[in-house]
A and B are shown apart, each in its own frame.
Chain A
């Protein structure tokens, strides 16, 4: 008996040696008084390989995990997914005030993209369908709606973040966005269940839904990638932009863990290989309240949650400020993008993208639109105006897949050149198609959410090698399509039925009637004669 227990314990320790878990929280105060908090919980499955899609038909090897989330692992293996990224975000990321995010997938709503190997019995599209339905069940999100009408394969913008196994011949990308997805507690609870310590200890204690979902921006992400030589890595990430100025009664931007999350860290997660809190320190004015940090680098300080005294409540104060004064000067942002849909017509409109490059150097950026067929581009009307001068040479279209109504979205990939210190406006006429009446959602008069455009600024200094390019998401759009008056369908049905009956009746009457000459009786003639003017038969 004891031997058996010992044996089991040994097996478990071997298992855990193959899996490592680390957690990290980065807190950075922003210029508008908010604090960006980025949680990352990383589990690495050492020496594991993504499942070979060619062997999907065979019995899979059994899966035994201690730290790695089993629910997720099953989905990955069942569909032979090499790389997976799912983000669920609420709010509009303000690149100007909050800078570039730690987790770059900040597009509003749900975004799912996956790289899959080819060569299976099931096609990539079938596995993609299984994947999104499985994830929809796992995260309580309407990812099932990411159907063919929203799926594209924008390989230029969404390059794999890890490695693709050499064994498989080729890999396919599937990408879909659902901007109308609302993110709330029902998504956070399954997210927390994937963590080895849930929200009971360690940094995950701070994931208090009451505060996170009251933040100016919040989003969660699940990222799976394969690293050659290391294994399969799962990163569960949560980002929130919290607003201490709004929470405090006296309009100060001082914050601490307990004021931001209404919790402090009472104990550390025992299985975590590393557990760090990193605080970015602004250049002036701020002082860090206790406790003493474990490490102090230039511009940032770090705490090792496993070592410091508990409860841990990191904070920052600006003692010289009576209240927070918002900066009046323009934010120092190199690239500013504003995408809007102009026109109030229900048939046509104009898509306008304004890019301001305030840097002193020319910037090249790729531009991606994955537009459902609800908005159709007139590509020939694409115009580029740079500081009031037409400059159509600044845009070059790399690929364009036109939409198929009721079936497939359009995909536009282009390359833009932004001259130094300039404002470039890109406009394109669009048409709004008519929907079948069964295609309207229950809230038909709300309009349809359209996915964000994605820009990837290309570094001019990059000279080959593996360079991490960062994606920039624009805000999402809402488009008003022509909507029938659903409030009175019965009136309409009755009216059209009446009209059809009338028309049918008279046509039928004329077709079947026999026309004969009727001579009116002679005796009656005098009496009738007066009426003769009306009609002569």
Chain B
């Protein structure tokens, strides 16, 4: 029997009399509370969402990494790589350096590499390719070799690759000679053993990213309209995992792991964790995330991110340093993932469901060299060789904040989702406000011709909500986005360079591009402003103002985009949440035209500022779209910019 207090409480909630009437009253009261509290709820969600985003690098979150797939068994083998293999790598390096010094053509180098593979008894071939892009033709020659493992049926394969250009400064042209030499010498070493259960495919791709894109597309028989590539002469089975070796310096102190792939794809975390364990225990080389030096290893080091003006007690405090170190990694990660960029050659393989990472030998005076990297790569490959199935455990969503610390999806995903929920609530609120307005009771009474004795001074009246003008504006802005994207991929914006100087004689390439960008900015801004005419009709007491409907759609659309993106590409969703959350919520029309125009200009700058301030970024994004099919450039032009422009148009509409 429940206690009396509970009974009384229940009776109070249930009320007396007809229970249906009570129920309806209760429902109305609740709705009333929700209506009154929604701006506060919205604010609360915004605050929680943004604060959560800020706490991501803190030690509140995160747990130690572990191996989920039992078959991997990392670091359980004796490696066969020895000093003889190191000496052979040195000899390959001498040859490659000689070829570099005499400026050997890329075809010549590829042929040399292919011949070296053949001398080892491994079937090898070369592949020529060319990409036609806005900024010209990108061409080169890949060399690759397929070592069919003894007794294996050749249905499964692993890839060991090195690009000819290192990823240093995102492919600034530093050659990856030692990486190539390592792969060649590893091939010679692996040929001598029968323990491989999968075929080994060695790929020396030309250029930084373009060579591998051509090779892996041909391998999977995928055609790309602007790619001309020779068909591959050798084939193997399905590739499950791949390692890319990047060793640009003379020696290295740490091995950095790079894992972000195209369009925000990530490899299975087990691969990173296995490599980390192997490198630490088999190779004796500490592992870094990217090339960020871990402050735990060097206690005197203060990460650059910590501001100089902070008092020394706070600056040198462990918590501050740890926060700054993690923030550094998270920012780097978001920089790659949000822009859909691959942080190395490995990133091109993710699109074909291949788990791949890049091992980056962080250039230093020492102490490690070929001996350490060879052992680490061999042992990591042996671990990959153990796989009986594709890596499939739920380890694809993670945030690697340190080399041994990671965050599970549950600890970072809610942040952007909360922001998007706040926006959704704002949108729903606007929708309801568009419907209902308060009116003087007298006016209401005369309209309805109704007499009532105990009426309040004001009451709510319904209005119709015309959605067509708002939809026109939305369709118009997105269409404008498509035009903008089309124009951005034209040579005079994307490339600048030679085309500009020929179009605008007597003008330097940079100036030409600046002029073109400014013109485009002005045109699109004016066109967007003109879009406000589509929804400029007067509001009346029976019709809701257009800006409210537009705001509803704008907020709901933006909120949907953020929540859907959050499970595909967390970084992009978080960036969108930061850039669109508050600004879109705060857009309101002004009574004065000047104020409205000023606000519109601000929003335009927010939507299109990238045209003026980041020319390099545009060229890179367009190149990535054309060669690697990275969706970032079209996404910004067709989704982000129109959404913010819609918020700007709201400011121009009548209140």
CB within 8 Å of B: which residues of A? 32-33, 90-92, 94, 108-109, 179, 213-218, 243, 245-246, 325-326, 328, 338, 340, 342-344, 350, 352, 443-447, 449, 475-478, 480, 483, 485, 487-488, 516, 518, 520-521, 524-526, 528-535, 537
Contacts and interface: CB of A to CB of B under 8 A. Distances in A.
Contacts of B31: 531, 534-535
A528 B25 contact: yes
Contacts of A531: 28-29, 31-32
Across chains A and B, which 3 residue pairs bring their CB atoms closest together, nearest first?
A342-B221, A478-B155, A533-B460
Contacts of A32: 121
A92 B235 CA distance: 13
A343 B454 CA distance: 75
Contacts of B220: 342-344
A533 B460 CA distance: 6
A216 B548 CA distance: 74
Interface in B138-162: 148, 150-156
A91 B196 CA distance: 12
Given A325-B119, A447-B238, A487 B394 contact: yes
Interface in B1-46: 17-18, 20-21, 24-25, 27-29, 31-32, 35
A268 to B, nearest CB: 31
Main secondary structure of the interface of B (DSSP, over half): loop
B153 A449 contact: yes
B172 interface: no
A147 to B, nearest CB: 21
B392 A92 contact: no
16 contacts: A214-B150, A214-B194, A217-B151, A246-B194, A326-B118, A338-B235, A342-B221, A343-B222, A352-B221, A444-B389, A445-B390, A475-B154, A476-B153, A478-B155, A478-B238, A529-B455
Nearest to B387: A446
A531 B32 CA distance: 6
B388 A487 contact: no
Contacts of A487: 392-394
A443 B71 CA distance: 12
B237 interface: yes
Interface residues of B, number: 50
A480 B220 CA distance: 13
Given A445-B389, A445-B390, A521-B21, A526 B454 contact: yes
B460 to A, nearest CB: 4
A532 B118 contact: no
Nearest to B20: A518
B135 interface: no
Given A91-B152, A243-B150, A325-B119, A445 B392 contact: yes
A485 B389 contact: no
Nearest to A184: B151
B550 to A, nearest CB: 23
Given A246-B192, A447-B390, A485-B394, 14 more contacts: A33-B121, A92-B154, A214-B194, A215-B150, A326-B118, A344-B222, A352-B221, A447-B155, A478-B237, A478-B238, A529-B455, A531-B29, A532-B459, A534-B31
Given A328-B115, A478-B156, A91 B194 contact: no
Contacts of B32: 530-531, 534
A97 B631 CA distance: 46
Contact of A446 (B21, B222, B389): B389
Interface in B260-287: none
B498 interface: no
Contacts of B352: 344
A326 B220 CA distance: 30
A338 B219 CA distance: 13
Contacts of B238: 447, 478, 480
A62 to B, nearest CB: 42
Contacts of B393: 487
B456 to A, nearest CB: 7
Contacts of A325: 119
Nearest to B148: A92
A372 to B, nearest CB: 15
Contacts of A521: 17, 21
B428 interface: no
Contacts of B431: none
A387 B28 CA distance: 77
A525 B220 CA distance: 72
A284 B328 CA distance: 65
A342 B238 CA distance: 10
A179 B394 contact: no
B67 interface: no
A449 B155 contact: yes
B20 A516 contact: yes
B83 to A, nearest CB: 15
B353 interface: yes
Contacts of B222: 342-344
Interface of B: 17-18, 20-21, 24-25, 27-29, 31-32, 35, 115, 118-121, 148, 150-156, 191-194, 220-222, 235, 237-238, 351-353, 388-390, 392-394, 436, 454-456, 459-460
B150 A475 contact: no
Contacts of B459: 529, 532
A446 B388 contact: yes
A457 B121 CA distance: 28
A23 B32 CA distance: 96
Contacts of B436: 533
B460 A94 contact: no
A401 to B, nearest CB: 25
A532 B152 contact: no
Contacts of B192: 246
B393 to A, nearest CB: 6
Contacts of B35: 534
B150 A488 contact: no
A216 B390 contact: no
B438 to A, nearest CB: 9
Contacts of A342: 220-222
A535 B30 CA distance: 12
B283 to A, nearest CB: 26
A322 to B, nearest CB: 14
A494 to B, nearest CB: 16
B233 to A, nearest CB: 9
B394 to A, nearest CB: 6
A13 to B, nearest CB: 44
A32 to B, nearest CB: 6
Contacts of A476: 153-155
Contacts of A213: 151
B121 A446 contact: no
Contacts of B221: 340, 342-343, 350, 352
Contact of B28 (A92, A446, A447, A534): A534
Nearest to A344: B352
Contacts of B394: 485, 487-488
Nearest to A90: B151
A92 B157 CA distance: 14
Contact of B153 (A33, A218, A475): A475
A535 B351 CA distance: 51
B118 A328 contact: yes
Contacts of B120: 326
A360 to B, nearest CB: 21
Contacts of B389: 443-446
Contacts of A488: 394
Contacts of A530: 32, 456
A462 B214 CA distance: 45
A340 B235 contact: yes
Nearest to B121: A326
Contacts of B18: 518
B115 A91 contact: no
Contacts of A218: 151
Nearest to A526: B454
Given A32-B121, A328-B118, A520-B21, A108 B153 contact: yes
Contacts of B460: 532-533
A250 to B, nearest CB: 12
